[in-house]
Amino acid sequence: MSQPTSPDPDPATTPGLESGGGVAPGDTPPGESSTSGASDRQPRTGSRGANWMAYVIIGLVVVFAALFFVGYAIGLAD
């Protein structure tokens, strides 16, 4: 079996690193490695209809809460 390789640079062969892994003053540290794209498949989201239904429900809750607080404020003003 082969050893898995890390995408990170090997500190022993990275130029500009001092012993202990630090960088010299004024030197730029090496950039981290990156991979493009997602490493795992992304989960499927709900249907558009279900998403819009959730938006409508949340909107109605917000409107009713706002009406409640406006009515409460008007009741305090009397």
Whether the Cβ atoms of residue 21 and residue 11 lie closer than 8 Å to each other: yes
Q: What is the pLDDT of residue 41?
A: 74
Q: What is the pLDDT of residue 62?
A: 97
The one-letter amino acid code at 69 reads: F
Q: What is the pLDDT of residue 51?
A: 85
Q: What is the pLDDT of residue 32?
A: 59
Residues 34 and 3: their CA atoms lie apart, in Å, by 20
CA angle 36, 7, 15 (to 5 degrees): 120
- State which residues of the chain have pLDDT below 70: 1-4, 9, 11, 14-17, 21, 28-39, 78
DSSP 17: B
- Alpha-carbon torsion, ordered 12, 18, 19, 22, to 10 deg: -100
